[in-house]
Structure 1
Amino acid sequence: MRYFIQYPAGTSALVTDAMTHFVEEFRAEYQDDSALLFHSTSSLERVASIPFAKNAFAVIGETRRGDLGTNVARLADSLRDVRFPALPGPRARGFRLMVHVDGELTSVAAGPKRELEHTVSSGTGLRLEAGGRGEEYWVIGRLDLDHLLFCARLPKPPRPAKARGALSYELSSMLVLASEPHPDDTFLDPFAGSGSFVDARLGRPAREIIYSDVDLAAHREHLSPEVRHDPRVRLLAEDAMTLPSLADGSVDVVVTDPPWGEHEELPVPYEEFARTACVSLARVLHPERGRYVLLCNRRGTAAFAEALEAAGLPVRASHDILVNGHPATVFTGTRSPRATPAGPTPRPLLLGLPTYRRALDRFTS
């Protein structure tokens, strides 16, 4: 079966690494900055459940790209004898048709569009509900793909609403997967805030999952029930610069999104903040199996790259991504067993103060 997924911009390398964990006999056919066309023997339900996919589709047909109206008419003709797949979930009463070309929804001439709508109705037994809910069928074009795809959008499993300002479920899942989760992990997010990374980590086996944020009291009521009640989760109200409850080398993996320092007033210069944070992470990470994934704003890339290396946390890879249109960088790496963290003596900076948090308004899930 051929599938098409869309994912957070700039995470292509992370997606490629993660796909084999979710689908069987994965073979990529086309990939760009935010989309992947691939073959797999996995079921529709399995592909629909890929946690980092913003949208997932089953490919039903295609036509060589040219004039859009002509292409849509050709698709309608080629699909007349095609068997439409039974989509996961409750049976819908209707369908709607979307045309998404080069990253934008676009219109199609009325005649070809009616032909395609009639073909979909005949093939599915559903009636057109252009403005309503129901199954979705998409015509998809990408800049570097020489064919237009006709796809059925796979319904995503229901997810609880995110707190205002939280990182998206898709990006959180992607970065957690980049940490190479293991069932025996002790996991830590020292700047946990709304709990996005902790939520995502709960989807895989772990020995212990530590949420730490000095503003825990303010965030607690907005945390998901899973974060608040899962026995694997330990909630700490601690400064990320000192983490006094955590022994040296007691954490296997850190995935975190430190404050970006763009709209907040930091109590110290950004470079000092980065150095102090990295020394703290290096202290708690296990010297042999410790690993980390750190997300920072693009302007903070140089500061964190230098701070990570100085703290004995060599960078294995970095990825430039967009977080709701904001340039950002993801660092992945490991704790060096031979390096001794260098930098200022960690001291409390009260980094969880509401005036310091991540300017939550810049993110919407």
Structure 2
Amino acid sequence: MRDLRFLVTFPAGFEEIVPLLLRRFLPSVKIVSRSGGMVLFSAPSADPLLKAPLFFTNVFAVVREWASPGISFPDMIHGIIKKDSLAGFAAPKIPGNSFRLRFSRASRFESVDKRFVQKAEEYIASSARMRLDKLSGGAEFWFLIRQEGPAYFACKLPQHPAKKGPAPRPGELKSETALLVAALAQPSGTEKLVCDPFAGYGSIPAQLEILCPNAAIVAVDSDSSLVSGLKRRFSGNSRVRIHCGDARNLAMIETASVDLVAADPPWGEWEAGGYSDSAELGSLYSAFLAELDRILAPGGKAVVLTGAKDLFERAAAVSPSFSACAAREGFRTDILVNGKKAAVYRLNR
């Protein structure tokens, strides 16, 4: 059977790591292309993708592609009708028998002349034998024009099961972001001990379980109420060891024993345009890096997520152990977290 083509979208900045995750968890995929916040690939089916760990925002089954730069939404609508693009197309597991349309240019929704929208709606209703429901259509057909040039007519696949839980709480990383952050360390799967010294609600430790299947996980937080929540979340899980402690003094962890650290330390207070320049926060970063130097094993790796980029970079630049990392290419990966500019920093021993 002929492979189908799919798009996965994810927060921009993770273009290096998402193809590696696709190959790790879905070895049958064939990467076609990648660009800002998107990977195009072919695979026999989307089913394995919806059963794999969540590391993407959306998945689309591609119906038609255009490479022409400057194509318009009316041109795309005319093209799918003229070519009868939906003939024989069976999008996997579309819920219900209704649909609605979305028009997206450079990751922003855009309005389109109603005459052309109506033509697209009539064509899809007739060809796919589906009912138009503009408010809550079971299927979503998207016309996507990427900033880099390619354009796609595609069907958005059902929500990943991992997204059906409660919405993240204030300050809690989405599970897909937590997995992508931890994956930037490129864990081998052979790690024996990994750690999150700012575990919070447990987003990163939960993803370390997936990425480091043979490792014991140390989850530490200084907030006793968050530690109680961590104990409930990982109750009965013998791999996760939970401690109430300070990331600047991880006395419960032996020197040179940790293979991988993934951390989301405090960012400070948000102000217009960035995070406040707090001497206290800078001191926290410096002391954390000193303790990180102590606990990392030879060859150990760390990834640190923060929006207070200047403060962290200053701390890393004067760190006796990590100043060399700060000068290397690949030290900083810029990303967006809930619409705010942040970066993931990679350190190693």
Distance of 1:104 and 1:267 partners within structure 2? 34
Matched, 1:260 2:267: yes
- CA positional deviation for 1:81: 5.4
Contact 1:190 1:240 in 2 (8 A): yes
Contact 2:63 2:85 in 1 (8 A): no
The match for 2:49 is 47
Distance of 1:313 and 1:304 partners within structure 2? 12
The match for 2:14 is 11
Gaps of 5+ in 1: 336-365
Identity %: 25
Greater relative contact order: 1 or 2 (C-alpha under 8 angstroms, separation 6 or more)? 1
- CA positional deviation for 1:144: 1.8
Q: Which is further off, 231-240 or 61-70?
A: 61-70
Change (3 A) 1:14 1:76: same
CA offsets per residue over residues 262-297 of structure 1, 9 Å max, x none? 35999954443222111111111112x311111122
Instruction: Kindly tell me the number of residue pairs found equivalent between the two proteins.
Output: 329
* Stretches of 4+ aligned residues off by more than 4 angstroms: 220-226, 263-268
Q: Partner amino acid for 1:120? A: I
- CA positional deviation for 1:229: 3.5
Q: Which structure dedicates a bigger proportion of its chain to strand?
A: 2
The match for 2:321 is 310
The match for 1:173 is 179
Contact 2:97 2:131 in 1 (8 A): yes
Q: Partner amino acid for 1:245? A: M
- CA positional deviation for 1:13: 2.5
TM-score (norm 2): 0.84
Distance of 1:148 and 1:268 partners within structure 2? 47
Distance of 1:67 and 1:312 partners within structure 2? 48
- In structure 2, which of residues 52, 57, 60 is the aligned counterpart of residue 57 of structure 1? 60
Distance of 1:284 and 1:156 partners within structure 2? 39
Matched, 1:327 2:346: no
- In structure 2, which of residues 214, 224, 241 is the aligned counterpart of residue 234 of structure 1? 241
Change (3 A) 1:321 1:277: same
The match for 1:22 is 25
Partner secondary structure for residue 155 of structure 2: strand
TM-score (norm 1): 0.80
CA offsets per residue over residues 1-57 of structure 1, 9 Å max, x none? 32212111222223344332233343232412x223x23225212334462211111
- CA positional deviation for 1:223: 4.4
Matched, 1:150 2:153: yes
Contact 1:320 1:329 in 2 (8 A): yes
Matched, 1:280 2:284: no
The match for 1:213 is 221
Contact 1:257 1:296 in 2 (8 A): yes
Q: Which is further off, 40-49 or 262-271?
A: 262-271
The match for 1:356 is none
Q: Partner amino acid for 1:333? A: L
Partner secondary structure for residue 167 of structure 1: coil
Contact 2:293 2:321 in 1 (8 A): no
Gaps of 5+ in 2: none
Contact 1:260 1:300 in 2 (8 A): no
Distance of 2:63 and 2:85 partners within structure 1? 11
